[in-house]
Structure 1
Amino acid sequence: MIYLDNSATTKPHKEVLNTFVQVNESFYANPASIHGAGVEANALLDRARGQIADLLKTEDQFVLFTAGGTESNNLAIFGVPKANTHKGKHIITTEIEHPSILEAVKSLEQEGYKVDFLKVDVNGVISLQELQAKIRKETVLVSIMHVNNEMGAIQPIEEAAKIIHENSRAAFHVDAVQSFGKLPIYFNGEAGPDIISISGHKIHGLKGSGIIAFRKKMNIIPLLLGGGQEQGLRSGTVAVPQAVSLAKAARMAVETMEQATLKYRKWHNDLLEFLAGFGENIHLLSTNTGAAHILSFSVMDLKGEILINALQKRGIIVSTSSACSSKQKKTSHVVEALELHSNYKKGVIRLSFGALNTEEDILEFKKAFTDVMKELKGDINR
C-alpha cells in the first residue's frame, strides 16, 4: 500500500510509539498525586510541556495538553469570546476553516454573537483588505487557519496579525493543525498569533493528543470543569504518555522540517506538471505557492469516490476533499468557497505527503493515475 493521505492522519513514528509504551510502563502514576511516583510523572509532564513551549517560543505555563485539534479549536472559539463579552461580541473567521471552527462559531451565532466570514480568492487565500474592513472595536476573536486542510492554501498570518493587533483588542487564533512541523509557526510578539492549536496525529504522533498554546496570559473560560488540571482550563487527569509522545513527535517534525519541505516541494511541483499534461480533464486546486505537502485537483465529470476506488485497487491510498467530510454527499464548503465550475465539483482528490513517503511512491502514483484515467476517460492523448 502506498499511503498518500497524511493530512487525514499519519502513521506514528516508531520512536513515538516506543516513547508512549515506555512512559506507560514506568510513569503511569497520576501526575497530580503527591507521592513519589506522581512527582516523577509530573516532572516528565513538565519536561514535555517545556519542550513544546520552546518550539513555539512561549512560556511553559501557556502550553496546555488536549485530546486533539478539535478540542483545542473549540476551547479557543468558545473560551475567548465568552470570557470577553465586556469587549464585544464580534468574531471574524474564514469561509474555509475546519468544521471544528465553523460549527463552533455558528453555535455562537445562535447565542447572539456576530460572525463575519472572510472570502478567499481562486487560490484559497483571504484578502487582507477585507480583514481590515471588517475588524472593529467590538471584535473579540479572529480565527484564521494557517494551511487549509483540503487544498493547502497558506494564509498571510504575519500580515493578518499586524492588522488585528493594530486595530482591535481581539485575540488572534491560528489553527496550525496542518502547518506545524511543515511550515514555521510560533509566537512572535505582536507580529504573530495569540493562540495556536496543534494535533499530534498530523505529525506522526498519536491520535488523542493535542495542544492549545498562548502567547501571553489570557482571559478564557474552560470547556471542561472538574479537578482544575492544566491551569484550570482543561480539567481531567492529564495523559502523560500522550503528552510526552506529542513532544517527541513535535521535536522530530521541527528538526526535519527543512529537509522534508524540500522533498515535498519537489514532488508537489513534479505532480503539478504531470497533472497539467491531462489538459482540461484536470483542474488544479493547489498551486506552487501553497503548502508543499498537500496537492488537490479535480477530474472533470467524475466523482471523487470513483477515482479513489480505482486508485485503491492499484494500491494507492488518497482522499476526496477532507477526511472529516468525505463520507458526506454534499460538496465540500472549501470547494464551494473556491467557486469551482460544476463540472469539477464532484471530482476533487487530495494527495498529502508524510515523512514515510518516498520518491518511488510518487512514481507509482503517476503510473496508476495514468492507467485510471485511460480506463475511466478513454483516450486522453497523454
Structure 2
Amino acid sequence: MIYFDNSATTAIHPLALDAYVKTSQKIMGNPSSLHDLGTQANRLMQQARKQIAGILAVSPHEIWFTSGGTEGDNWVLKGTALAKKSFGNHLIISAVEHPAVSETAQQLAELGFEVSIAPVNKEGFVDVDQLAALIRKETILVSVMAVNNEVGMIQPIQAISELLKNYPKIHFHVDAVQAIVKVPQELWLTERVDFATFSAHKFHGPRGVGFIYWREGRKLAPLMTGGGQEENHRSGTENVAGIVAMAKALRLAVEKKAERPAHVAKLKEYLTEELQKFAKVTVFSGAENFAPHILCFALQGIRGEVMVHALEEKQIYISTTSACSSRSKTESSTLHAMNVAGNLATSAVRVSLDESNTMAEVEQFLIIFNQLYRKFSKVN
C-alpha cells in the first residue's frame, strides 16, 4: 500500500498510540475532580500544555484544547463575533479558506454579520493590497489560512501581519492545521497573529483532539458552555488521553522533521518534474512559496474521483483536493477562486506527502500513473 493522503489524516504514531492507551488505562480521574485521581489527570494535561507551548515558544496560558481544527476555527470566528459585536460586525476571510472557516463565516452572515472575501491571484495567493482595501472601521477579524489544504500555497502571513499592525484592534486568525511541522513557524505565527488553530491527526496524533493558540490579552467568547473547563473558555470534560498523545505526537513530528528537513520537498520536486512530462497533466502546486507536502494536479478529461478510484485499485491512496468535501463531488473551491476552468477543476486530485513516504513509493506511483494515463488516453 502507498498512502499519499496525509493532508486528510495521518497514521497515529505508535508511541503516541502507546501514550493514549496507557493514559486511558492508568489515569481514570476527571481532571476537574478534587480528589487525587483528578489531580493526576489534571497534572498530565498541564504537562502536555506546557510541552506544546514549549514547542511553539509561547506561554502555556496561550494554549487551549479543542476537539480539532473545525472546532478551533468555529470558536475563533464565532467567539470573536460574540466578544466584539459591540465594536463592529465585519469579518474578512480569504477566498481559499477551509470550509470550517468559509461556512462558519457564511453562518455568521446569515445571523447579520457582514463578511468580505479577500481575492487571490491565479496562483492562489491573497493580494494584500486588495485585502487592505476591504478593511473598514467595523472590521473585527481577518482570517487567512497559513497553508491551503487543496493546492498548498503558503499565504503571505508576514505581509498581512505588517498590514494589521496598523489596526491593532482587529483580531488576526490563522488556520495553521496544514502548516505546523510542515513549514517554518516564522511563516505563520508572527507576533501579530492573535489566534491559530491546529488538529492532532495532521501530525500523527489521534483524531478528535486539537488546540488553539490564543494570544494573551485578546478577547474571545466561549463556544462551548457548561462545566467551566479550560478556565471557563471551553466547557466539556477534557480528552486527557488524546491531549497527552497529541503532545507526544507533536514532539515526535518535530524531531523527525529535524532529522530530514528536505526529505518531503525532494519527493514533491521529483514527482512534479515527472508529472509535467505528461502532455495532458496540469500541475497547480508550485515550488516557491508552496508547502513541500501538497501537490495538486489534474489529468485533462478525467474526473478526480475516477482517478482516485483507479489508483485505489492499485492500493495507492490520494484524494480529490480537500478530503473534507471530496464526497460531494464538486469542483475545488480553491481552484475556482484561482479562476481555473470548471472542467479542469473537477479533474483535480491531491497527493499529500509525509516524512514516512519514500522515493521508491513515488517511483511506483509514477509507474502506475503512466499505465493509467495510457489507458485513459485511449478512451479520451
TM-score range, shorter chain: over 0.9
Distance 2:26 2:36 in 1: 12
Matched, 1:180 2:180: yes
Indicate if the aligned counterparts of 1:57 and 1:188 stay in contact, CA closer than 8 A. Answer: no
Conserved 8 A contact 2:157-2:187: no
SS in structure 1 at match of 2:296: strand
User: Superposed, which structure 2 residues align to 1:152-167 within 5 Å?
Assistant: 152-167=152-167
Check if 1:288 corresponds to 2:272: no
Cα displacement string for residues 143-194 of structure 1 (whole angstroms, at most 9, x for unaligned residues): 1100000010110111111211213511111000001111123699964411
Report % sequence identity: 37
What is the match of residue 103 of structure 1? 103
Give the aligned length.
379
Matched residue SS, 1:297: strand
- CA gap of 1:266–1:251, structure 2 versus 1, over 3 A, is same
Kept after mapping to 2: 8 A contact 1:58/1:214: no
For residues 245 and 151 of structure 2, the distance between their equivalents in structure 1, rounded to whole angstroms, comes to 28
Match runs of 1:202-281 below 5 Å: 202-279=202-279, 281=280
CA distance in 2, matches of 1:349, 1:300: 11
* Local SS of the residue matching 2:147: coil
Counterpart CA distance in 1 for 2:275 and 2:208 is 36
Gaps of 5+ in 1: none
Q: Does the 8 Å CA contact 1:62/1:217 hold for their aligned counterparts? A: no
CA distance in 2: counterparts of 1:77 and 1:262, whole angstroms: 35
What is the match of residue 347 of structure 2? 347
Quote the residue 1:57 is aligned against.
Answer: 57
The residue type equivalent to 2:133 in the other structure is: A
Q: What residue is the counterpart of 1:331 in the other structure? A: 331
Give the Å deviation of 1:218: 2.1
- Cα drift, residue 267 of structure 1: 1.0
Partner in structure 1 of residue 170 of structure 2: 170
Distance 1:68 1:189 in 2: 18
Q: In structure 1, what is the equivalent of residue 320 of structure 2?
A: 320
Superposed displacement of residue 104, structure 1: 0.7
Q: CA-to-partner distance for each residue in 1:303-328, whole Å, 9 max, x for gaps?
A: 11111111111121111111111111
Flag the 1:187–1:211 CA change in 2: closer, same or farther, 3 A: farther
1:61-81 CA-partner distances (Å, limit 9, x unpaired): 221111110001100010012
Label 1:208 to 1:92 Cα distance change in 2 as closer, same or farther (>3 A): same
Mean Cα displacement is larger for which, 257-266 or 362-371? 257-266
Residues 188, 374 of structure 1: alpha-carbon distance in 2 compared, 3 angstrom cutoff: closer
Distance 1:115 1:379 in 2: 45
CA deviation vs aligned residue, 1:27-46 (integer Å, no higher than 9, x gap): 12111111111111111111
Supply the distance in 1 between the matched residues of 2:188 and 2:207 (Cα, whole angstroms): 28
Q: Which residue of 2 aligns with 1:139?
A: 139
Question: 1:357 — aligned with what?
Answer: 357
C-alpha contact (below 8 Å) 1:182/1:254 kept by paired residues: no
User: Structure 2: how far apart are the matches of 1:6 and 1:237?
Assistant: 29
Q: In the TM superposition, what whole-angstrom CA distance separates every residue of 1:256-292 from its partner, at most 9, and x where no partner exists?
A: 334454111111111111011012x011110012100
- Write the distance in 1 (CA, Å) between the matches of 2:336 and 2:17: 39
Q: Name the structure 2 match of 1:10.
A: 10
Q: CA deviation at 1:217?
A: 2.7
Distance 1:131 1:55 in 2: 31
Task: Give the unaligned 5+ runs of structure 2.
Answer: none
DSSP-derived class of the 1:256 partner: helix
Residue 113 of structure 1 corresponds to 113
**Contact between 2:293 and 2:353, CA under 8 Å: does it hold in 1?**
yes
Note closer, same or farther for the CA distance 1:107–1:251 as it changes in structure 2 (3 Å cut): same
Matched residue, 1:149: 149
Question: How far 1:255 sits from its partner (Å)?
Answer: 2.4
1:189-218 deviation digits (Å, cap 9, x = unpaired): 964411010000010110001001112132
Q: Aligned with 1:166: secondary structure?
A: coil
Q: Supply the distance in 2 between the matched residues of 1:46 and 1:29 (Cα, whole angstroms).
A: 14
- Preserved CA contact (<8 Å) 2:257 2:355: no
SS in 1 for 2:15: helix
Q: CA shift at 1:25, angstroms?
A: 1.4
Map 1:192-207 → 2, pairs under 5 A: 192-207=192-207
- What's the CA shift string for 1:234-264, capped at 9, x where partnerless? 1011111111111111112222334454111
Q: SS at 2:65's partner residue?
A: strand
Amino acid in structure 2 at the alignment position of 1:27: I
Contact 2:66–2:209 (Cα < 8 Å) also in 1: yes
- Please say if residues 172 and 195 of structure 1, whose CA atoms lie closer than 8 Å, have aligned partners that are also in contact: yes
Contact 2:49 2:60 in 1 (8 A): yes
Tell whether the 8 Å contact from 2:152 to 2:295 is kept in structure 1 after alignment.
yes
- Going from structure 1 to structure 2, the CA distance change for 1:50 and 1:350 (only over 3 Å counts) comes to same
3-state DSSP of counterpart to 2:76: helix
**Residues 72 and 211, structure 2, Cα contact 8 Å, conserved in 1:** yes
Are the counterparts in 2 of residues 148 and 178 from structure 1 also a CA contact under 8 Å? Answer: yes
Q: 1:264 and 1:190 mapped to 2: Cα distance? A: 24
Distance of aligned partners of 1:190 and 1:286 in 2 relative to their CA distance in 1, 3 Å threshold: closer
Seen in structure 2, the aligned counterparts of structure 1 residues 227 and 50 have a Cα distance that, compared at 3 Å, is same
2: CA distance, partners of 1:24 / 1:79: 31
